[in-house]
A and B are shown apart, each in its own frame.
Chain A
Amino acid sequence: MPKNEKDLILKVTDLKMHFPIRKGLLAKTVGHVKAVDGVSFEIERGKTFGLVGESGCGKTTVGKCVLRIYNPTGGEIVYNGKDIANYSASEMSPIRRDIQMIFQDPYSSLDPRQSLKSILKEAIVCDMKPHGATEIEKRISELMISVGLDPIMMDRFPHELSGGQRQRLGIARALACNPDLIICDEPVSALDVSIQAQVINLLKNLQKQLGLSYLFIAHDLAVVRNIADNIAVMYLGHIVETMDSDEIYAHSIHPYTKALLSAVPITDYYEEQKRQRLPLEGEVPSPIHAPSGCPFHPRCPYATDKCKEKMPDLTERMPNHFVACHNV
């Protein structure tokens, strides 16, 4: 399927984020943590792109680079046709509110000293346009209704809400800015199972209504598969495989993706008893001492000498299905 540049809301090319390790009195740089090392992906307008990986693989760092909370070391972040990777703070300010974030921890993402009303009001008023008091009040009610909160709760404080309600409020705050793109950083991993489903459904409905695009970052494959259109699997700062999300369960190719899948149990008792397990040995190495060549080779059952030397490129093995592995 040919894509022209127009229907892409975000195109990230070869993004790199290296954090310096400083030591000693003069803060000399002694090395770099390569949290993200050459990541490329595209998000179509109105679609959801899922980024999956274990902790420390750099998925959150990618999100924070796109939001320009971090200044990336290299690469391009093309948002709506403009490369924002090197924008200064003043250049960022007109588009600041167009990219929003939903956070993982529903407890630390809301100021405990603010009422719900004041949290939303702050997000509405910050666009520097004049607002009437009644207009603001109306907008707050609208927002709360759209995320399934009763406007009666407006005067409450965050500690009076349950985890799911807090997460809904976090979504309302993001929506208050009328964003195009929302970075969802593990938005449901801190919630109970029954509430997870509520929030996932809410995010899906909002996408349909408002035409939002999501960059959905999570470690839970099942959740990502359910909400995302495309999925990228990250390992130690690299994307090792990207594909349509329908492909992942049956047709994933990269050995890491397969191991990850097999580590996740499914709730179908009979199916689960039949499944083959690919246990992974060892642990994810620290990104400070990332292995040479393919980052996965020390744990990979198929590793060869070539894997130790050269990092494989992402190549298209099937339509829309890219894999970075020498031994497919």
Chain B
Amino acid sequence: MDSAEKKLKRKQSFQQFCRVFFGRGLIVKFCLGVAVLFVFVAIFAPLLAPHDPTEVDTMNRYAKMFTKGHLFGTDKYGRDLFSRIIYGSRTSLTCSLLSALWAAIVGSTLGIIAGYKEGWIGKIIMRYVDIQLSIPPLILSMTLAVILGSNIFAIAIVLGIGAIPGYIRMAYSNVLSIKENDYIVACRLVGQKTFKIMFKHLLPNCFASLIVIFTMSLGLTIMVESSLAYLGVGLSEPMSAWGLMVSDGFGCLTTHPNVALIPGFCIMLIVVSFNVLGDGLRDALDPKLRGKL
């Protein structure tokens, strides 16, 4: 096949992808915009922030919103909230994306293996899940955070470990039903390797439910991160992270609601955006929906 034809085909399939991806209307475009904006902000934080996020100004504590020089006001140490939100997007996004990604990779791999190879490997994996789920998640995360330290990557690993059982369970139960399909038998009959069956047939077919867990865990990790911070084992002052800021502002919610509500609103915005984008991606990857007009 000549390359022009191939190019055309690729273009067509990209157009189809976009059509389904944006199929739910304006909200998807809006959410994509929000996500891109936050990523952009995170990357160029030093250029965008008007103040140093750790700069303490005791004369200017709890400044109101829209005061001169402080768009969102200041917190109890007089630090500029706007700059802290901007820098906070760095930590929060890296933390949640990293943890969700690594949990997704490890969790779904283990889940698929456990589901496809039921023998002793599967049993060990599933017993591990049971054991982890029997430990209160916060205590587990706290212990791990104490052991691993409190830099971003360590926290991402800790948060990821908390999310792994969810992926394993979901992948496992999906694979159990998918592998009963005749096409898996057919693959074995043509001599396909086990490894390829797992990642070429089983994984794409459980994608729809895995993506739901992925987008849900993105939001959840930011929450867990904030509770770890509140308990004093997570990311700590003077670093800025949204979760940290929410728990910080919680004490003065009635007097100065902006300190907690603004980062809270940011978390909500990003979680909703990721969820909508995840749904779009799920639909766009389904050939059944992609083919439809």
Contacts and interface: CB of A to CB of B under 8 A. Distances in A.
15 contacts: A69-B188, A96-B190, A97-B190, A100-B189, A101-B185, A108-B182, A108-B183, A109-B183, A111-B205, A112-B205, A122-B187, A122-B190, A122-B192, A159-B287, A160-B291
A96 B291 contact: no
Interface string B178-220: 0011110111111110000000110011000000000000000
A191 to B, nearest CB: 15
Interface string B42-66: 0000000000000000000000000
A176 interface: yes
Contacts of A176: 190
Contact of B287 (A99, A100, A157, A170): A157
A173 B190 contact: yes
B68 interface: no
Contact of B201 (A111, A128, A137): A111
A48 to B, nearest CB: 19
Contact of B291 (A104, A126, A127, A157): A157
B189 A96 contact: yes
Interface of B is mostly: helix
A149 interface: no
A101 B192 contact: no
A173 B286 CA distance: 23
Interface in B144-197: 180-183, 185-192
Interface of B: 1, 9, 180-183, 185-192, 200-201, 204-205, 286-288, 291
A109 B286 CA distance: 18
A126 B190 contact: yes
What 5 pairs across the A-B complex have the smallest Cβ distances?
Answer: A109-B182, A103-B182, A157-B287, A108-B181, A126-B191
Nearest to A134: B1
A103 B180 CA distance: 13
A310 B287 CA distance: 57
B288 A159 contact: yes
B5 to A, nearest CB: 11
Interface residues of A, number: 34
Nearest to B13: A155
Given A105-B182, A137-B1, A112 B287 contact: yes
Given A93-B191, A127-B191, A173-B186, A113 B9 contact: no
A198 to B, nearest CB: 21
A177 interface: yes
A99 B191 CA distance: 11
Contacts of B192: 122, 126
Contacts of A177: 189-191
Contacts of A115: 287
Contacts of A100: 189-190
A309 to B, nearest CB: 40
B178 to A, nearest CB: 9
Nearest to A157: B287
Contacts of A113: 201, 204-205, 286-287
A216 B1 CA distance: 39
Contacts of B205: 111-113
A112 B187 CA distance: 14
